[in-house]
Structure 1
């Protein structure tokens, strides 16, 4: 990749000058036609910033080493949906590349700023970060310009990643995003699927206490179409039918908790043509629609029980006219539809498509499912509100998209533990921060060792000698920041671990290379593999290598690799961030590798497992048993000046569902 630039060092370039200064990027840089570059908007100003070298991590350890269900009968009306997503119409892929339209940014309510996710959460920022670590030619530019170019290129990359509409992106099908459906909210229930104000408040508190992140439908649709990961533990809240309680009871709670939500409305109810139960007025609906946390969806005109039974003319009126009425009354685009009582067929989805909706929500009393299990964007599944407690601990925003430049990112905050269940294999994952290792003077619980460091999370490390209870002797060579001492290992035993993964860590990168007992005998030899290496050890085996799970034959003679055991691992995910984790149930190595590849790990190394398997977070063990004490750990240290990622936090799109709308 090459960047041809005329920008002089330390020069402030005006917006009009930037075209000539930075435009000639080779077409292969983005693997897209060069004309795309001329459609990128340009910043108004550029201010150079310093990028100080990272300081060494101070690690204190004991001493130097001593030796080598209920969805409800949708009786009156259904669903709501958010404002248009920033992603352009997916059909544009078929029409050819087009310049993006200018966007007008809508700022979130000031009270919500303190709950913004510390990591990039808009689709532009997320893809930009994935580009950032690998664009080596950006390094010579001012940091502000680097960030600008990275974010601009994200529009192109998001289109490249998108699945053909209305299909779901394969990576999104691995995530678990529950969409919760509510109906009327009253002081006292009238039917079983109503909820009281107190019950809804308790649900919101449960969502908060379990660390979930409520998102907008825009965020979910982008995720389903592009595979971009959502924030930790995402959940979407929806309210159907346009009851008055949505204005008087739900809206105040949403604003108090800072949660976005989708409201599905059918105009005949608001007009008063459909008599029964309370209804919103147009004035109330207009007030709600003006709120950044609220998205409005069409729910047909009259809410017929089953759209599939209607004549074609009536079907089109229900689907098309409802959109037009809501758009005229509210002065905004209505890009989402909710099927009354969840009924749809090919004719109904064809009508929804022809009307110009981008996505549609459904329901199924007998088969509730996560959003990623949906048939398509035209049939996004939901759970009834009574299922909330069963799904809150299952929510997972998905793995990061592959980074084609294979870079590393040690600047992201350390996440809270993510409890992931893939192919019925439950895992605990913690990602982000900067990786370090600690070689203690004896054996301790992982939490005890990490207490002497700045690490927020840590997993047990590599294999060690069992000959003496207080031995800290590791198998193979070891280098740790905690001692800054290279120990070559037992030269007689080292050949037995040839070709196992030698893990090398520097302040900015990680390398996994086959270990050679004859070559990797000095610190200088490690430096030759990875300049600036600060940590090194030999792992048991690759579980995932360059994105591919490893087959049984690649484990060679490794003891019990095919047995079901508790397993510990660490690696790098597709965004270039370090990940540590454990299995919550016994699993064989081959199956674990397959699951970790689905979870988004680019490379994963098996660590000491069985009785040693241990993961700790914020000084507390996350295991259901007391593991065997170990002398070596791999920890994650938050970036300097950063704290642990706040939970729950809100993506920008969740606070302002209309984060990007077409400019007038």
Structure 2
């Protein structure tokens, strides 16, 4: 037993040292003693799902290859993600898709003195709400790892922070955290420790007790809490930033890796001093606007939200897209999720997950009508179609849908489509290949492009190809590609999940490609746009206007319910 214990311990703590150092959750059922020695904060490690429940202690002793195989399968994607981190201090593109609220509290005391004070009863109700709504409080180390690597967080994460080292943090907050088992970050400015300035502050003995608890992260908050670090002379600025770190580390015997700007005020010079002092990240705030962590400028300006907006933050919290399994290029088994985000000044509605399919209706309808009586829960308008009559379902180029037979395209039109992306889908794979009118206008030709093809159509242009946004030169003579219009798109994200969506701001094709690349799409193509731009989710249109009716959509079906004949077609 000791030999296998040692092998596993080395694998986790040495072979996967990158993962341990990054505070990635490593759940190992029944083996906490083998994991905790390699990590200074054991609360960063949970033990729930890495090893299948059927694989008990005896199983991995007698059949270690099972455990090692599971380790490779589950930790492999995390290791790859960690080795593909964004350059400091930039945020990873996958992290920008998540919605992680970082909640900011100040004093906790029985009687409020200012509007942002919170009573112990209110704080207890906040923590209970977090529990009831099934959010997972995370540590600041976990958040920073996520922002840097894109490694997923729990489905509904939240980070709790408490500023200024008030006495109520020890008297009220700390006991509640222990009761609920929730981690939190406390930012401390050192000059007032143990003092009563009209408000009590924690003393060194209390702070040492808190700092020794794995639930607690201590962050530096300067020495004297200046009202605006931007106005200080450089020598005083450096003192406030570096001396607070030195004092806390000396007194507490821990590494202080994070900084919190007093009143959230910073500029490039202040942030540079913080980075040069050896901090890994810094927290800020903005009373005028609420931002999730993934919307932050960088690691040295992580946004926070005031505690008074907790209810709204809880409702929107989302940990972001999951990583694909080791070696898997496509994931059609993930839960369908909707996300609204702004990237490069483009406001996008993005729906990911599920099994991709298309529906070719018998006439033209609004997208929610096309989805009615089908298992699909979301869809975007699809390929280009003929405008010769209002009830025409004639497409531009060949089309094959799960619900209908193959329809070849018009030969004269097909020649004009050469080089545009042909989208081919089957139950496991999506391919985007340049359309060739001589090869792809028959069902046999489509099966050559992708065996067992179930859906195919010709899109307008690549927006993102192999994770690279496409330049203007790739759009050729495509009409109005450089005009600002509402636009529809679909593709595959870095996790291998299908993604559909629209821009709700007017945007040109090149700018949309840049935004989608930042949103984490590895391939994306433009669909019929302008007046046809449509997006529906659970029976409701998500665009703020009545779009042109369409005969064709790209849809997402919840995993495990896709069948060969799942779509009931609208009658003509």
The correspondence for 1:457, drawn from 378, 381, 386, is 378
- Mapping of 1:256-271 within 5 angstroms? 261-265=184-188
Counterpart of 2:334 in structure 1 is: 412
How far does residue 529 in structure 1 lie from its aligned partner after superposition?
A: 1.0
SS of alignment partner, residue 218 of structure 1: helix
Matched, 1:549 2:475: no
How far does residue 563 in structure 1 lie from its aligned partner after superposition?
A: 2.3
The correspondence for 1:325, drawn from 251, 257, 282, is 251
Q: Deviations over 1:224-266 (max 9, x none)?
A: 3334465678664321123344466656887999975322245
- Mapping of 1:497-646 within 5 angstroms? 497-640=417-560
Contact 1:502–1:513 (CA under 8 A) maintained in structure 2: yes
- Mapping of 1:36-75 within 5 angstroms? 40=15
- Mapping of 1:289-300 within 5 angstroms? 294-299=215-220
Contact 1:399–1:599 (CA under 8 A) maintained in structure 2: no
- Mapping of 1:426-437 within 5 angstroms? 426-437=347-358
Shift of the 320–39 alpha-carbon distance from structure 1 to 2, 3 Å rule, reads closer
The correspondence for 1:443, drawn from 346, 358, 364, is 364
Counterpart of 2:565 in structure 1 is: none
Q: Work out the CA distance in 2 between the residues paired with 1:86 and 1:461.
A: 42
Question: How well do the aligned residues superpose, as a CA RMSD in angstroms?
Answer: 5.1
Shift of the 325–403 alpha-carbon distance from structure 1 to 2, 3 Å rule, reads same
Q: Work out the CA distance in 1 between the residues paired with 2:377 and 2:179.
A: 30
Q: Work out the CA distance in 2 between the residues paired with 1:210 and 1:553.
A: 49
How far does residue 627 in structure 1 lie from its aligned partner after superposition?
A: 2.4
Comparing 277-286 and 620-629, the one that deviates more: 277-286
SS of alignment partner, residue 512 of structure 2: helix
Shift of the 243–565 alpha-carbon distance from structure 1 to 2, 3 Å rule, reads same
SS of alignment partner, residue 483 of structure 2: coil
Counterpart of 1:44 in structure 2 is: none
Contact 1:400–1:574 (CA under 8 A) maintained in structure 2: no
- Mapping of 1:247-286 within 5 angstroms? 261-265=184-188, 272-279=194-201
Comparing 563-572 and 549-558, the one that deviates more: 549-558
Comparing 399-408 and 582-591, the one that deviates more: 399-408
Contact 1:172–1:225 (CA under 8 A) maintained in structure 2: no
TM superposition score normalised by structure 2: 0.73
Comparing 418-427 and 494-503, the one that deviates more: 494-503
How far does residue 295 in structure 1 lie from its aligned partner after superposition?
A: 3.0
The correspondence for 1:148, drawn from 68, 71, 76, is 71
Counterpart of 1:191 in structure 2 is: 114
Contact 1:268–1:274 (CA under 8 A) maintained in structure 2: no
Extract unaligned runs of 5+ from structure 2: 26-35, 52-64, 563-572
Contact 1:511–1:530 (CA under 8 A) maintained in structure 2: yes
Q: Work out the CA distance in 2 between the residues paired with 1:346 and 1:585.
A: 32
Shift of the 444–150 alpha-carbon distance from structure 1 to 2, 3 Å rule, reads same
Contact 1:326–1:334 (CA under 8 A) maintained in structure 2: no
How far does residue 588 in structure 1 lie from its aligned partner after superposition?
A: 2.0
Q: Work out the CA distance in 1 between the residues paired with 2:432 and 2:441.
A: 16
Comparing 317-326 and 387-396, the one that deviates more: 387-396
How far does residue 599 in structure 1 lie from its aligned partner after superposition?
A: 1.5
The total of aligned residue pairs comes to 524
TM superposition score normalised by structure 1: 0.64
Contact 1:477–1:538 (CA under 8 A) maintained in structure 2: yes
Contact 1:504–1:537 (CA under 8 A) maintained in structure 2: yes
Q: Work out the CA distance in 1 between the residues paired with 2:161 and 2:115.
A: 17
Contact 1:399–1:600 (CA under 8 A) maintained in structure 2: no
Counterpart of 2:144 in structure 1 is: 221
Q: Work out the CA distance in 2 between the residues paired with 1:627 and 1:206.
A: 40
Contact 1:267–1:325 (CA under 8 A) maintained in structure 2: no
Q: Work out the CA distance in 1 between the residues paired with 2:536 and 2:134.
A: 18
Shift of the 255–573 alpha-carbon distance from structure 1 to 2, 3 Å rule, reads farther
- Which structure's relative contact order is higher, taking Cα pairs within 8 Å and 6+ residues apart? 1
How far does residue 450 in structure 1 lie from its aligned partner after superposition?
A: 2.1
Shift of the 210–436 alpha-carbon distance from structure 1 to 2, 3 Å rule, reads farther
How far does residue 530 in structure 1 lie from its aligned partner after superposition?
A: 1.0
- Mapping of 1:277-426 within 5 angstroms? 277-279=199-201, 294-299=215-220, 303-305=224-226, 318-327=244-253, 334-340=256-262, 345=270, 349=274, 352-353=277-278, 358-362=280-284, 377=299, 380=302, 382=304, 407-415=329-337, 417-426=338-347
Contact 2:91–2:298 (CA under 8 A) maintained in structure 1: no
Q: Deviations over 1:456-476 (max 9, x none)?
A: 221111122233333222222
Q: Deviations over 1:393-448 (max 9, x none)?
A: 99887788999979222222211x21111122111001112111112222332223
Shift of the 228–16 alpha-carbon distance from structure 1 to 2, 3 Å rule, reads closer
Q: Work out the CA distance in 2 between the residues paired with 1:471 and 1:208.
A: 52
How far does residue 489 in structure 1 lie from its aligned partner after superposition?
A: 2.6
Counterpart of 2:56 in structure 1 is: none
The correspondence for 1:161, drawn from 74, 78, 84, is 84
Shift of the 202–580 alpha-carbon distance from structure 1 to 2, 3 Å rule, reads farther
Shift of the 303–84 alpha-carbon distance from structure 1 to 2, 3 Å rule, reads farther
